[in-house]
Amino acid sequence: MGAFHNPARLSIALVSGGMDSCLAAAIACRNGPCAFLHVTYGQRTARREHKAFLDLAAFFEVPENLRLVVNLESLSMIGGSALTDPSISVPKFHEVPADEGGEKPATYVPFRNAHIIATAVSWAEVIGAGSISIGAVAEDSAGYPDCRPDFYTAFNRLIAVGSYAGESLRVETPVIAMTKSEIVKMGLELNAPFHLTWSCYEREDAAGGQCDSCLRRLRAFRQAGIKDPIPYVS
């Protein structure tokens, strides 16, 4: 697994409720004590993702005082995304260009990850955490500039110069170079509880299987030769 952070120090895992951050959290929890941070921002499936967060925090036995759920109202007020603006529809996967390079996906939430990591940095300064773990995946990053490795390099520089934590706090991206099917396989090796996660952008009762996020998830499980444990509408 490698030492993703100093095991003597507390780590903050960003836990969206999806499978990438579930694996990142599983890795962080193996390395030492973890706090879990979840962010809602008025996205369509916020309640279901929050439930996934609570289920994951319970699974990993995170103490109540090391769980934080924050609502970023600014992102829903600002809109500009199919996830936060009900007047913009979530594209079905057959409407998503195969190569999104350069084109902005309707589901891009402007600069979202900067808000999420800033929240983690503020919390890290107060609770004394030494690392922040995020489940960003470069494979998805063509259309999401705030998922690129360069973004995290730049953010670490920002923390180094702009916080009291300085260089003693780092953002880590343990799954950034993995394909989604590698994430499935490694998750199984580590007993990551994918059955508790949620990925669908559209529905909260059962996954719709129609949006880009469902597509990527289903394809990853198929490529790994494993059945996705969550329910889908038939």
Q: What are the residues binding a copy of itself (CB under 8 A)?
A: 68, 70-75, 77-80, 104, 108-115, 118-119, 121-123, 125-126, 145-146, 148, 150-151, 154-155, 157-164, 166
N residues, the chain: 234
Please report how close the Cβ of residue 93 comes to a copy of itself at its closest, in angstroms: 22
Query: Minimum Å distance from CB 221 to a copy of itself?
Result: 29
Q: Which one, of 232, 219, 201, lies nearest residue 89 by Cα?
A: 201
Please, what is the minimum distance in Å from the beta carbon of residue 129 to a copy of itself?
A: 12
Nearest to 116 by CA among 214, 208, 212, 49: 49
Contact 36, 25 (CB under 8 A): yes
Would you say 99 or 205 has its CB closer to a copy of itself?
99
114 phi and psi angles, rounded to 5 deg: -65, -40
Give the DSSP H/E element, type plus range, for residue 14: strand 11-14
Residue type, 141: S
Instruction: Choose between 80 and 91: whose C-beta lies nearer to a copy of itself.
Output: 80
Q: Closest distance between a copy of itself and the C-beta of residue 143, in Å? A: 9
Residue 38 vs 203, nearer CB to a copy of itself = 38
Question: Among 12, 13, 10, 37, which residue's Cα sits nearest to residue 23?
Answer: 13
Closest to a copy of itself by CB, 96 vs 118, is 118
Q: How far is the CB of 149 from a copy of itself (least distance, A)?
A: 9
Q: Quick one: 50 or 185, whose CB is closer to a copy of itself?
A: 50
Residue 148 CB partners (closer than 8 Å, separation 6+): 138, 141
